[in-house]
Amino acid sequence: MTDTATATDARPPKHVVYCGVCTLPPEYCEYGGTTKKCSEWLVANHPDLHSHLYSEDAATKGMSNLSLDAQKRAEKDAQKKAAKAEAAEAREKTQRAASKVYIKRVERNKRKYVTEVSGLEAFGLDLKKIAKEFGKKFATGSSVTKNAGGTGDEITVQGDVSDDIFDWLQEHHAEVPEDNIELIEDKKKKASAGP
Protein backbone atom coordinates (compact mmCIF):
# COMPACT_ATOMS: atom_id res chain seq x y z
CA MET A 1 0.00 0.00 0.00
CA THR A 2 2.94 2.34 0.15
CA ASP A 3 3.57 3.00 -3.47
CA THR A 4 5.40 5.84 -5.01
CA ALA A 5 5.56 6.54 -8.69
CA THR A 6 8.83 4.67 -9.05
CA ALA A 7 7.79 1.55 -7.18
CA THR A 8 4.77 0.89 -9.36
CA ASP A 9 6.68 -0.81 -12.14
CA ALA A 10 6.65 -4.55 -12.66
CA ARG A 11 5.40 -5.55 -9.28
CA PRO A 12 3.97 -9.06 -9.32
CA PRO A 13 0.20 -9.20 -9.17
CA LYS A 14 -1.30 -9.25 -5.74
CA HIS A 15 -3.11 -12.40 -4.81
CA VAL A 16 -6.44 -11.80 -3.15
CA VAL A 17 -8.29 -14.54 -1.33
CA TYR A 18 -12.01 -14.63 -1.98
CA CYS A 19 -14.51 -16.02 0.48
CA GLY A 20 -15.93 -19.35 -0.59
CA VAL A 21 -19.36 -18.54 0.79
CA CYS A 22 -20.16 -15.03 -0.38
CA THR A 23 -17.36 -14.63 -2.99
CA LEU A 24 -16.35 -11.23 -1.57
CA PRO A 25 -12.88 -10.57 -0.26
CA PRO A 26 -13.03 -11.75 3.37
CA GLU A 27 -12.71 -8.26 4.78
CA TYR A 28 -16.06 -7.41 3.22
CA CYS A 29 -17.83 -10.55 4.46
CA GLU A 30 -19.53 -8.61 7.21
CA TYR A 31 -21.53 -6.78 4.56
CA GLY A 32 -22.62 -9.87 2.69
CA GLY A 33 -25.32 -11.00 5.11
CA THR A 34 -23.86 -14.47 5.67
CA THR A 35 -21.21 -13.38 8.12
CA LYS A 36 -21.45 -16.42 10.34
CA LYS A 37 -20.96 -18.89 7.54
CA CYS A 38 -18.19 -16.82 6.02
CA SER A 39 -16.40 -16.80 9.33
CA GLU A 40 -16.64 -20.57 9.58
CA TRP A 41 -15.35 -20.97 6.07
CA LEU A 42 -12.42 -18.72 6.78
CA VAL A 43 -11.50 -20.68 9.90
CA ALA A 44 -11.45 -23.86 7.88
CA ASN A 45 -9.55 -22.51 4.90
CA HIS A 46 -7.45 -19.56 5.98
CA PRO A 47 -7.13 -19.65 9.76
CA ASP A 48 -4.41 -17.00 9.89
CA LEU A 49 -6.53 -14.54 7.96
CA HIS A 50 -9.47 -15.30 10.21
CA SER A 51 -7.61 -14.52 13.39
CA HIS A 52 -6.47 -11.28 11.80
CA LEU A 53 -9.90 -10.16 10.63
CA TYR A 54 -12.25 -11.44 13.30
CA SER A 55 -10.28 -10.62 16.42
CA GLU A 56 -11.95 -8.56 19.12
CA ASP A 57 -9.34 -5.93 18.63
CA ALA A 58 -10.11 -5.39 14.98
CA ALA A 59 -13.81 -5.11 15.61
CA THR A 60 -13.49 -2.44 18.27
CA LYS A 61 -10.92 -0.54 16.28
CA GLY A 62 -13.22 -0.43 13.30
CA MET A 63 -16.20 0.73 15.26
CA SER A 64 -14.53 3.32 17.45
CA ASN A 65 -14.41 6.08 14.87
CA LEU A 66 -18.06 5.87 13.99
CA SER A 67 -20.57 7.86 15.97
CA LEU A 68 -22.77 5.89 18.36
CA ASP A 69 -25.81 6.61 16.27
CA ALA A 70 -24.21 5.39 13.08
CA GLN A 71 -22.97 2.29 14.86
CA LYS A 72 -26.49 1.42 15.90
CA ARG A 73 -27.82 1.94 12.45
CA ALA A 74 -25.11 -0.13 10.87
CA GLU A 75 -25.77 -2.94 13.29
CA LYS A 76 -29.47 -2.87 12.60
CA ASP A 77 -28.84 -2.89 8.91
CA ALA A 78 -26.48 -5.83 9.18
CA GLN A 79 -29.03 -7.75 11.20
CA LYS A 80 -31.72 -7.09 8.68
CA LYS A 81 -29.50 -8.22 5.88
CA ALA A 82 -28.56 -11.41 7.69
CA ALA A 83 -32.21 -12.21 8.35
CA LYS A 84 -33.01 -11.60 4.72
CA ALA A 85 -30.27 -13.89 3.52
CA GLU A 86 -31.37 -16.57 5.93
CA ALA A 87 -34.98 -16.35 4.83
CA ALA A 88 -33.97 -16.57 1.21
CA GLU A 89 -31.94 -19.65 1.91
CA ALA A 90 -34.75 -21.34 3.80
CA ARG A 91 -37.18 -20.53 1.03
CA GLU A 92 -34.90 -22.01 -1.55
CA LYS A 93 -34.51 -25.14 0.51
CA THR A 94 -38.22 -25.75 0.86
CA GLN A 95 -38.72 -24.99 -2.77
CA ARG A 96 -36.09 -27.49 -3.64
CA ALA A 97 -37.65 -30.15 -1.46
CA ALA A 98 -41.03 -29.56 -3.09
CA SER A 99 -39.96 -29.33 -6.69
CA LYS A 100 -39.84 -32.39 -8.86
CA VAL A 101 -37.95 -33.44 -11.90
CA TYR A 102 -40.13 -35.06 -14.52
CA ILE A 103 -38.70 -37.39 -17.09
CA LYS A 104 -41.37 -37.90 -19.66
CA ARG A 105 -41.37 -40.30 -22.54
CA VAL A 106 -43.43 -39.07 -25.44
CA GLU A 107 -44.31 -41.12 -28.48
CA ARG A 108 -43.38 -39.34 -31.60
CA ASN A 109 -44.12 -41.82 -34.35
CA LYS A 110 -45.19 -45.37 -33.46
CA ARG A 111 -42.01 -46.91 -32.15
CA LYS A 112 -40.02 -43.70 -31.96
CA TYR A 113 -39.82 -41.63 -28.84
CA VAL A 114 -38.50 -38.39 -27.47
CA THR A 115 -37.72 -37.90 -23.80
CA GLU A 116 -38.62 -34.62 -22.16
CA VAL A 117 -36.93 -33.63 -18.93
CA SER A 118 -38.39 -30.73 -16.97
CA GLY A 119 -37.84 -29.23 -13.56
CA LEU A 120 -34.06 -29.36 -13.48
CA GLU A 121 -33.69 -25.60 -13.24
CA ALA A 122 -35.16 -25.64 -9.72
CA PHE A 123 -32.02 -27.43 -8.58
CA GLY A 124 -29.76 -24.77 -9.96
CA LEU A 125 -28.62 -26.72 -12.98
CA ASP A 126 -27.90 -25.11 -16.29
CA LEU A 127 -30.31 -26.61 -18.82
CA LYS A 128 -28.20 -25.73 -21.82
CA LYS A 129 -25.16 -27.49 -20.45
CA ILE A 130 -27.08 -30.56 -19.35
CA ALA A 131 -28.70 -30.80 -22.76
CA LYS A 132 -25.29 -30.76 -24.36
CA GLU A 133 -24.16 -33.49 -21.96
CA PHE A 134 -27.15 -35.66 -22.83
CA GLY A 135 -26.47 -35.22 -26.50
CA LYS A 136 -22.91 -36.30 -26.00
CA LYS A 137 -23.68 -39.19 -23.73
CA PHE A 138 -26.50 -40.73 -25.72
CA ALA A 139 -25.21 -39.67 -29.12
CA THR A 140 -28.57 -38.19 -30.05
CA GLY A 141 -30.07 -34.81 -30.66
CA SER A 142 -30.76 -32.95 -27.43
CA SER A 143 -31.99 -29.43 -27.03
CA VAL A 144 -33.62 -26.97 -24.72
CA THR A 145 -37.17 -26.24 -25.79
CA LYS A 146 -40.13 -24.31 -24.51
CA ASN A 147 -42.58 -26.56 -22.70
CA ALA A 148 -46.16 -27.02 -23.83
CA GLY A 149 -47.62 -24.25 -21.71
CA GLY A 150 -44.87 -21.85 -22.68
CA THR A 151 -44.17 -21.34 -18.98
CA GLY A 152 -40.64 -22.64 -18.88
CA ASP A 153 -37.94 -24.61 -20.57
CA GLU A 154 -37.32 -28.30 -20.74
CA ILE A 155 -34.79 -30.57 -22.32
CA THR A 156 -35.88 -32.71 -25.23
CA VAL A 157 -33.72 -35.71 -25.99
CA GLN A 158 -34.36 -37.83 -29.04
CA GLY A 159 -34.95 -41.49 -28.34
CA ASP A 160 -36.24 -43.31 -25.30
CA VAL A 161 -33.52 -42.74 -22.75
CA SER A 162 -35.61 -42.08 -19.65
CA ASP A 163 -34.01 -44.80 -17.53
CA ASP A 164 -30.54 -43.77 -18.57
CA ILE A 165 -31.25 -40.17 -17.67
CA PHE A 166 -32.52 -41.29 -14.30
CA ASP A 167 -29.29 -43.17 -13.64
CA TRP A 168 -27.15 -40.37 -14.97
CA LEU A 169 -28.80 -37.79 -12.73
CA GLN A 170 -28.13 -39.88 -9.66
CA GLU A 171 -24.57 -40.41 -10.59
CA HIS A 172 -23.65 -36.87 -11.56
CA HIS A 173 -26.10 -34.68 -9.72
CA ALA A 174 -26.59 -36.09 -6.27
CA GLU A 175 -28.20 -32.82 -5.18
CA VAL A 176 -31.38 -33.98 -6.92
CA PRO A 177 -32.90 -36.49 -4.51
CA GLU A 178 -34.03 -39.77 -5.96
CA ASP A 179 -37.54 -39.37 -4.59
CA ASN A 180 -37.97 -36.12 -6.45
CA ILE A 181 -37.44 -37.66 -9.84
CA GLU A 182 -40.53 -38.99 -11.51
CA LEU A 183 -40.67 -41.08 -14.62
CA ILE A 184 -43.73 -40.62 -16.79
CA GLU A 185 -44.70 -42.68 -19.76
CA ASP A 186 -47.58 -41.53 -21.85
CA LYS A 187 -50.28 -43.94 -20.80
CA LYS A 188 -52.38 -44.11 -23.88
CA LYS A 189 -49.45 -44.76 -26.09
CA LYS A 190 -47.94 -47.25 -23.70
CA ALA A 191 -50.19 -49.98 -25.05
CA SER A 192 -48.67 -49.63 -28.47
CA ALA A 193 -45.18 -49.26 -27.10
CA GLY A 194 -44.38 -52.94 -27.34
CA PRO A 195 -41.80 -54.52 -25.03
The site for other proteins (CB under 8 A) is made up of: 1-5, 7-11, 13-16, 22-25, 27-28, 31-32, 61-62, 65-66, 70, 74, 77-78
- Cβ 123 to other proteins shortest distance, Å: 16
SS3 call for 184: strand
Closest CB to other proteins among 17 and 184?
17
Tell me the CA distances in angstroms from 133 to 16, 45, 99, 100, one per residue in order: 34, 32, 22, 20
Residues in the chain: 195
CB 116 → other proteins: shortest distance, Å?
23
Least separation in angstroms between CB 26 and other proteins: 9
Output the CA–CA distances (angstroms, integers) from residue 17 to 42, 53, 126, 128, 187, in the order listed: 10, 13, 27, 31, 55
Q: Which is nearer to other proteins, 114 or 127 (CB)?
A: 127
Residue 185 host element (H or E): strand 181-185
- In the bound state with other proteins, the residue whose beta carbon lies nearer, of 32 and 119, is 32
